[in-house]
């Protein structure tokens, strides 16, 4: 579990690709102090398991599924990545509950400077947009942000100077792809409502009346 508060920017030093998976090697600094082999590390919002680490780098394997569903497959040596270690019980939750299991990707449409902040408009699929609500929570490349101006296919986020400067958002331009993780609470609510609808439909179908008998061939 993560909170969407980025601890540092790492630098991709190698992407060792095979037919079945890819191993990413990242140059790290701050997170190295408490990182251990087997720990979870969010890389651009995606939860990866650290398979090896040293004082200045760490490695993790990326499955083919993750490469297909995220932007990690686009990374190359020299690219910066947002890093966050899993939160420990009792630590402050400065952002919101982030699992590191992204729902899909979005595309940056515009980046506009407004005052000392930056407004970023992002487009995404309608199947994701139903989980993104104005003044709710969304994780963009692992960064906890507040969406607004939500439509069926777009939403905006306002990025304060500290977040803009200390994350990969400062490198985003129109047509840049980003990883999106929707608020987990909205997904659970949607799932519960789906089952409630199915239960009501099953209940209606179980009623034995004239219409039911006609549908099932007992009456003509």
Whether the predicted pLDDT of 211 surpasses 90: no
* Mean pLDDT of all residues belonging to the chain: 90
What pLDDT, on the 0 to 100 scale, is given for residue 165? 95
Least confident among 89-93, 115-119, 170-174, 202-206: 202-206
To 5 degrees, how large is the angle CA 75–CA 77–CA 78? 100
pTM: 0.85
Which tens digit of pLDDT belongs to each residue from 147-175? 999 999 999 999 999 999 999 999 999 99
The per-residue pLDDT for range 2-14, each reduced to its tens digit, is: 999 999 999 999 9
Q: Is the pLDDT of residue 215 over 90?
A: no
Percent of the chain with pLDDT strictly greater than 70: 91
Does residue 34 have a pLDDT over 60? Answer: yes
**Residues contacting 127, CB < 8 A, separation 6+:** 104
* Domains present along the chain, CATH in parentheses: 8-85 (2.40.30.20)
Q: What pairing do the DSSP bridges indicate for beta strands 80-85 and 46-53?
A: unpaired
The pair of three-digit structure tokens given for residue 67, joined into one six-digit string: 């490469």
Other CB atoms within 10 Å distance of the CB of residue 64: 13
Alpha-helical (H) ranges within the chain are: 64-69, 126-129, 161-165, 184-206, 210-215
Alpha carbon separation from 20 to 61, 78, 101, 159, 220 (Å, rounded): 10, 23, 20, 37, 59
């Amino acid at each position: 579990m993560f909170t969407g508060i980025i601890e540092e920017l790492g630098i991709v030093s190698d992407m060792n690709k095979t037919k079945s998976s890819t191993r990413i090697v990242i140059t790290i600094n701050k997170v190295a102090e408490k990182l251990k082999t087997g720990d979870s590390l969010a890389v651009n919002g995606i939860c990866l398991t650290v398979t090896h680490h040293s004082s200045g780098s760490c490695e993790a394997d990326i499955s083919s599924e993750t490469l297909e569903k995220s932007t990690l497959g686009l990374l190359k040596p020299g690219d910066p990545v947002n890093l966050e270690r899993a939160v420990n019980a009792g630590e402050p939750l400065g952002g919101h509950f982030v699992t590191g299991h992204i729902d899909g990707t979005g595309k940056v449409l515009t980046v506009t400077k407004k005052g000392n902040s930056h407004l970023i408009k992002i487009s995404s699929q309608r199947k994701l947009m139903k989980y993104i609500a104005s003044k709710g929570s969304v994780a963009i490349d692992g960064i906890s942000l507040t969406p607004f101006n939500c439509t069926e296919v777009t939403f905006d986020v306002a990025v304060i100077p500290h977040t803009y400067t200390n994350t990969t958002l400062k490198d985003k331009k129109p047509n840049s792809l980003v990883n999106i993780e929707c608020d987990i609470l909205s997904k659970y609510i949607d799932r519960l409502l789906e089952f409630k609808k199915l239960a009501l439909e099953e209940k209606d179908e179980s009623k034995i009346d004239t219409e039911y008998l006609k549908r099932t061939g007992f009456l003509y």
